Amino acid sequence: MNVVSLSARATAVVLSALLWASCATDFPGDPPDLDNLEYPVGMALHPSGDTLYVVNANFDLKYRPQDGGTLSVIDLESLTVLPEQTRTMGSFATTVRLNHDASRGYVTVRGDSSVTWFDLSEDGRRLSCPLAPNSVDLGKCKFAVPSEPTGLAYSRGHRTQALLDANGRPLLDNDGRPRLIEQDFDLLAIAHLRDGLVSVATVGDTTGTEKPAFSIASATLVDGPSDIALQSGERFFVTGRVASSLVAFRPAIGADAQVLGIYLDAILQVPTPFSSHQGRSLLFSQDKDRLYLTNQSPNSLLVFDTSEGDNDAVSGTVNHIIDMLDMPQGPNRMAWVSTGEKDLLYITSFSDDAVAIVDPAIPAIVGRVEVGEGPFDILVDQTKRQQAYVSNFAEHSVSVLDLSDPLHPVETHVIGGLQ
């Protein structure tokens, strides 16, 4: 199954579903099955290594569109889905990210053009919408964003704001120093498949049942934005599915933590024999000096030098391609795996039903492990369990890989898998 056809079909179904939903006042249709994985896509791992969160897309609209998607909670000790902790949300969700201390998470949901958010318990086993804490649905906890949000990157922001009096003059404390407000916030960068849009949003810290402060700004940067990666601080890179370049950008954020706009930082041309490349995923090296791009037009892995240099007077970085490697069909998401001596790239190959193992120092494919049908996302835990997790979109499952020998991983378990 080709990923491009999946995207086109999903877009058409989303539009028809939204037109239908706009005329409805309730939720007709069947609620989703909380016991199983169905069309799993993005994943997130709790820092404890004990809990995995898996986004299920409701891709075929088997369930009602408004809340037919789910965020499954998997106990990694027993390797089972916890249906009592699984939550529902809109259809065609894609990416899930946890914040800096895993107290909150965010999901891009294409079906209702939102970023859905949730709070997490300290142990990570319970997630909820604090605005409707007793509901299985996360629908009350979402921010409206431009259409078709898909890629999502996270950073943590901070601003200092001076308090002013009615005349706009700084308020002073007893020592004559300006009175300041320190504001910490979650910073989200969002890729939207439609209209070439990229958004940046700030989300304030809250406690209890208060809805967090939210601000957002968008800009047209690249055709068909699909994925975003954070380099450092507030500098991001975005790729697109019908783009001719990668774009680096930064947000302009005021002292009040409100997003004022987005400005372009650098443009990296992507060589391709076609009119555009089909970027799927971005991943930085550990030192941030290399940026890796999976491309499906043609199937390849592209490597860019993003180290400091004087090639670009604006960004102060080198920003050019240095390597290209042919890949199996449908290269998608990536993760780093350490052998203890060097770092390897594990890359899901959607149409090959496998994970390719790449030594980026050569660069070359040095191994392969078969997983389920249509592998999409991959996460790695080399802190607690020495395992990798692969979401198999077309098989409705998650493969568990043993990383005792990172050059020769073995699939030891499969979670889910509908017949």
Instruction: For residues 57 and 35, give the distance between their C-alpha atoms in angstroms, rounded to a whole number.
Output: 15
pLDDT at 23: 37
Domain 145-159+177-326 class in CATH: mainly beta
240-268 average pLDDT score: 93
What lies within 8 Å, CB to CB, of 371 at 6+ separation is 348, 353, 354, 355, 390, 392, 399, 401, 411
pLDDT given for residue 163 in this prediction: 80
pLDDT of 123-147, one tens digit each? 999 999 999 999 999 999 999 999 9
Tell me which of 2.80.10, 1.10.10, 3.30.1490, 2.40.10 is the CATH number of domain 340-419: 2.40.10
What confidence score (pLDDT) does residue 181 get?
Answer: 83
Residue with tokens 């959607």: 350
- Calpha distance 79→183 (Å, rounded): 39
pLDDT at 310 over 90: no
Which single residue is written with the structure tokens 């030192």?
Answer: 287
Query: Is-contact 109 133, C-beta < 8 A?
Result: no
Nearest to 344 by CA among 359, 362, 325, 329: 359
**Residue 355 to residues 5, 133, 290, 379, 408: CA-CA distances in angstroms?**
21, 38, 21, 12, 11
In this prediction the pTM is 0.89
What average pLDDT score do residues 246-259 get?
95
Chain position carrying tokens 């142990």 = 123
Average pLDDT over residues 79-99: 97
* Among the ranges given (24-33, 42-51, 81-90), the one the predictor scored with the smallest mean pLDDT: 24-33
pLDDT at 282: 98
Q: What percent of the chain has pLDDT over 70?
A: 90
Average pLDDT over residues 52-59: 97
Tokens representing residue 226 in the block: 């699909």
Asked whether the predicted pLDDT for residue 10 surpasses 50, the reply is no
List residues bridging with 401 in a β-sheet: 388, 411
Are 398 and 373 within 8 A, CB to CB?
A: no
Structure token pair of residue 304: 């860019």
Chain center to CA of 333: 10
Instruction: Please compute the mean of the pLDDT values over residues 353-368 and round it to a whole number.
Output: 96
pLDDT at 177 over 60: yes
Q: What percentage of residues in the chain have a pLDDT greater than 90?
A: 77
Reduced to 3 states (helix: H, G, I; strand: E, B; else coil), residue 310 is: coil
CB 377 within 8 A of CB 399: no
The predicted model gives 108-115 an average pLDDT of 97
Higher pLDDT, 376 or 310: 376
For the chain, the domains span: 1-20+30-138, 145-159+177-326, 340-419
Q: Note every long-range contact of 16-19, with CB atoms under 8 Å and residues 24 or more positions apart, other chains counting.
A: 17/61, 17/65, 17/91, 17/111, 18/65, 18/111, 18/112
SS3 category, 92: coil
Task: Check residue 27 and give its pLDDT.
Answer: 63
CA distance 85 to 166: 49
pLDDT tens-digit map of 139-168: 999 999 999 999 999 999 999 888 877 887
Asked if the domains 145-159+177-326 and 340-419 are classified in one and the same CATH topology, the answer is no
What is the structure's pLDDT at 176? 79
* Alpha carbon 110 to chain centroid, angstroms: 13
